[in-house]
Amino acid sequence: MVTFSDLQLRLLQHLLTRVRNGELTERGLARMVGISQPHIHNVLKGVRTLSPELSDSILVHLRISLIDLLDRTQIAKYSGSDGNEYYESCYIPVLSDPIGPGLPWPCRIEESRRFLIDRRKVASFRNPIIARISPDARMLPAIHEGDFALLDQSQSAREQIDPDALYLIKSGSQALIRRVRQGQGNALYMVTEDSLQTPELWEKILLTCHELPHLIRARVYLVAPEKEDWWDRNQTLATSL
């Protein structure tokens, strides 16, 4: 049997892992849920209790379901199945605004919409999220208007540069999808699809390893929903997770 105390402990462990991985900060988490930084610090240290009210607030703001705190074996046990069919898909939150040149950095999540996807595709991801892509002539034919970008925001995905991959770049207030090439020393190049064969047109950026995660916000994978009606507001399961 999984008790409420078990779920609180797993939520606490989840928060500690994300803080240690650099995905969250104590200050950011405290501001998010409306408490002081010393309070959240003491909660994470175990000095103060993680109350039900604070737990609920954290779950809502980080968009974590209680189901996310259970492992596959437990889900299969309580669902009465072997786990394979039940566990094969999951719902991913969707950004309210599209990403692309000339658009502001997206900050809001759709409150009542989710994107159904094969769970295996996001098994190793941290905070996966879906974004719709707006027109970007410089990235044709790699991406097109209306494509869906699955974003892996994990630290490893942002720091281990793959020259063949696509990345979400924070350029000023814009969210751009670009390829990335590493140069000598601390040089990094942002590469558009129309300049792949002309390196002299690549945008050069000089930065330290500490600045890299602030520039590269996610690795991008192009995906399609598993259901054509994923966008329907009346999908009870999609809106309840």
Domain coordinates in residue numbering, the chain? 4-69, 89-223
Location of structure tokens 């000095």: 47
d(CA 189, CA 166): 13
pLDDT, tens digit, 9 for 90 and up, residues 85-112: 445 778 888 998 999 999 999 888 887 7
Fold of 89-223: Umud Fragment, subunit A (2.10.109)
Q: For 43-93, what is each residue's pLDDT tens digit?
A: 998 889 888 889 888 888 887 777 677 665 555 555 444 445 445 778 888
Tell me if domain 4-69 and domain 89-223 are identical in fold: no
Please list the residues that pair with 233 across neighbouring strands.
none
Length of the chain: 241
Spatial distance between the Cα atoms of 233 and 140, rounded to a whole number of angstroms: 31
Which letter does DSSP use for residue 160 in this model?
S
Which pLDDT tens digit goes with each residue over 180-194? 998 887 888 999 999
Structure tokens at 128: 């996966």
| Domain covering 4-69: architecture | Orthogonal Bundle (1.10)
Best CA proximity match to 220, nearest among 181, 191, 185, 179:
179
**Are 155 and 21 spatial neighbours (Cβ–Cβ below 8 Å)?**
yes
